[in-house]
A and B are shown apart, each in its own frame.
Chain A
Amino acid sequence: MTISPEIDKLIAEHNMARDEYAVLLKVLGREPTEAEFGVVAAMWSEHCSYKSTRVWLKTLPTTGPQVIMGPGENAGVIDIGDGQAAVFKMESHNHPSYIEPYQGAATGVGGILRDVFTMGSRPIANLNALRFGSVDHPKTRSLVAGVVAGIGGYGNCVGVPTVGGETNFHASYNGNNLVNAMTVGLADAKRIFTSAAAGIGNAVVYVGSKTGRDGIKGATMASGEFNANAESQRPTVQVGDPFTEKLLIEACLELMNTEAVVAIQDMGAAGLTSSAVEMASKGGLGIELDLDKVPLREEGMSAYEIMLSESQERMLFVLQPGHEKEAEDIFKKWELDYSVIGKLTDTGRIVCLRHGKTEVDIKVDPLVEESPVYNRPYEATPAQAMLSAADYPFPAGQTPLSVLKTMIATPDLCSRRWIWEQYDCHVGTNTAQSSGGDAAVVRIEGTKKGLAMCVDCSPRYCAADPVMGGKQAVAETYRNISAVGAKPLAITDNMNFGNPEKPRIMGQFVGACEGMKEACIALDYPIVSGNCSLYNETNGQPILPAPAIGGVGLMPDVAKMMTVAFKGEGESILLIGETKGHVGQSLYLREIYGKEEGAPPPVNLTAERRHGKLIRQLIEDGEITACHDVSDGGLLIALAEMALAGDIGCKVDAPATDAGFWFGEDQARYVVTTHDPDALLVKCEESGVPCMLLGLTGGDKVVLGSEAVDLAWLRDLHESFLPDYMEG
Chain B
Amino acid sequence: MKAAVVVFPGSNCDRDAARALELATGQKPHMAWHGDASMPDVDLIVLPGGFSYGDYLRTGAMAAHSPVMREVVARAQKGVRVIGICNGFQILCESGLVPGVLLRNESLKFVCRSVRLKVENNTTDFTKGYEQGQTVAIPVAHGEGNYFAEAETIKKLEGEGRVVFRYIDNPNGSMNDIAGIMNEKGNVLGMMPHPERVAEPLHGCTDGIKVFESLLKAVG
Q: CB within 8 Å of B: which residues of A? A: 149, 152-153, 156-159, 241-244, 246-247, 334-335, 420-432, 443, 558-559
Pair B19/A429 contact, Cβ less than 8 Å? yes
Given contacts A422-B109, A424-B141, A431-B203, 19 further A-B contacts (CB under 8 A): A149-B110, A153-B110, A156-B51, A156-B112, A242-B51, A243-B53, A243-B56, A247-B10, A335-B9, A421-B112, A424-B110, A425-B112, A426-B139, A426-B194, A427-B13, A427-B49, A427-B141, A429-B196, A429-B197
- B16 interface residue (CB < 8 Å to A): yes
List the B residue with the shortest CB-CB distance to A247: B9
Shortest distance in angstroms between A102's beta carbon and chain B's nearest beta carbon?
13
**Does B202 sit at the interface, judged by CB under 8 A?**
yes
CB-CB under 8 A from A420, the residues of chain B are 112
Given contacts A246-B10, A429-B199, contact A152 B56 (CB under 8 A): no
A149 touches B112 (CB 8 A): no
CB distance from B137 to the nearest CB of A (A): 13
Going nearest first, the 6 A-B pairs with the smallest beta carbon separation are A159-B12, A243-B54, A429-B16, A424-B141, A157-B51, A426-B197
**B157 located at the interface, meaning its Cβ lies under 8 Å from any Cβ of chain A in the complex:** no
Can you sample 24 A-B contacts with CB below 8 Å?
Answer: A156-B141, A157-B51, A158-B12, A241-B54, A242-B54, A243-B51, A246-B12, A247-B10, A334-B9, A420-B112, A421-B112, A422-B110, A422-B111, A423-B112, A424-B110, A424-B112, A426-B194, A427-B13, A429-B16, A429-B20, A429-B203, A430-B202, A559-B201, A559-B202
Q: Which residue of A has the minimal Cβ distance to B33?
A: A333
Which A residues lie within 8 Å of B54 (CB)? 157, 241-244
- In the bound complex, what is the Cα–Cα distance between A423 and B202 (angstroms)? 20
Give the chain A neighbours of B88 by CB distance below 8 A.
none
Q: Which residues of A contact B190 (CB under 8 A)?
A: none
Main SS at interface, chain B? mixed
Report chain A residues within 8 Å CB of B65.
none
> In angstroms, how far is the closest chain A Cβ from the Cβ of B144?
12
Cα of A443 to Cα of B203 in the assembled complex, Å: 10
How many A-B residue pairs have C-beta atoms within 8 angstroms? Tell me: 80
For the complex, is B113 an interface residue (Cβ under 8 Å from A)? Answer: yes
- Show the binding face of B for A, using Cβ within 8 Å: 9-10, 12-13, 15-16, 19-20, 49-51, 53-56, 109-113, 139, 141, 143, 194, 196-197, 199, 201-203
CA distance A422 to B19 in the complex (A): 25
B141: A residues at CB distance < 8 A: 156, 424, 426-427
- Which residues from A are CB-within-8-Å of B203? 426, 429, 431
Asked whether, in the complex, the Cβ of A159 is within 8 Å of the Cβ of B202, the reply is no
Residues of A within 8 A of B111 (CB): 421-422
Is B12's CB under 8 angstroms from A427's CB? yes
Nearest chain B CB to A723's CB is how many angstroms away? 10
* CB of B91 to closest CB in A, whole Å: 15
Residues of A within 8 A of B201 (CB): 559
Residues of B within 8 A of A153 (CB): 110
Interface centre among A149, A429, A559 (most CB of B within 10 A): A429
Q: Which residues of chain B come closer than 8 Å to A242, judged between CB atoms? A: 51, 54
* B112 nearest in chain A by CB position: A424
Contacts of B194 in A (CB 8 A): 426
Enumerate chain A residues within 8 angstroms of B12, measured Cβ to Cβ.
157-159, 246, 427
Chain A residues with CB below 8 A from B55, complex form:
157, 243
Write the chain A residue with the least CB distance to B204: A432
Contact A426 B112 (CB under 8 A): yes
**Bound: A519/B101 CA distance, A:** 55
B112 near A246 with CB under 8 A, answer: no
Report the minimum CB–CB distance from B212 to chain A (whole Å). 13
* Pick from A152, A246, A558: contact of B202, CB under 8 Å: A558
* Most B C-beta atoms less than 10 A away, residue of A247, A420, A424: A424
Chain B CB within 10 A, most for which of A246, A334, A421, A426: A426
> Chain A: which residue is nearest B16 at the CB level?
A429
Q: Which of B16, B49, B196 has the most CB of A within 10 A?
A: B16
Are B112 and A243 in contact, with the CB atoms below 8 A? no
Q: Give Cα A335 to B35, complex, Å.
A: 11
B124 to chain A, nearest CB (A): 24
Chain B residues with Cβ under 8 A from A422's Cβ? 109-112
Q: In the assembly, what is the distance between CA of A422 and CA of B53, in Å?
A: 21
A243 close to B10 (CB less than 8 A): yes
Closest to B13 in A: A427
Bound together, the chains give a CA A152 to CA B143 distance in angstroms of 10
Q: Which of B12, B49, B53, B109 has the most CB of A within 10 A?
A: B12
Q: Which residue of B lies closest to A159 (CB)?
A: B12
| B113 A421 Cβ-Cβ under 8 A | yes
Residues in B whose Cβ lies below 8 Å from that of A424: 110, 112, 141
Cβ contacts under 8 Å, A159 to chain B: 12-13, 50-51
Inter-chain CA distance A214–B196, complex, in Å, is: 39
Taking a contact as CB atoms under 8 Å apart, the answer to whether A157 and B10 are in contact is yes
Residues of chain A with a CB closer than 8 A to B20's CB? 429
Q: Give the docked Cα–Cα distance between A277 and B50 (Å).
A: 36
How far is B20's CA from A429's CA once the two chains are assembled, in angstroms?
9
Residue in B closest to A425 when the chains form the complex, CB atoms: B112
- What is the CA–CA distance of A158 and B20 in the complex, to the nearest angstrom? 20
What is the bound-complex CA distance between A243 and B57, given in angstroms? 13
Docked pose: A431 CA to B197 CA in angstroms = 9
Whole-angstrom distance between the alpha carbons of A159 and B12 in the complex? 5
Could you tell me the distance between the alpha carbons of A365 and B31 in the complex, rounded to whole angstroms? 48
List chain B residues, Cβ under 8 A from A158. 12
Tell me the minimal C-beta distance from B139 to chain A in angstroms: 6
Q: What's the least CB distance linking B13 to chain A, in Å?
A: 6
B9 surroundings in chain A (CB, below 8 A): 243, 246-247, 334-335
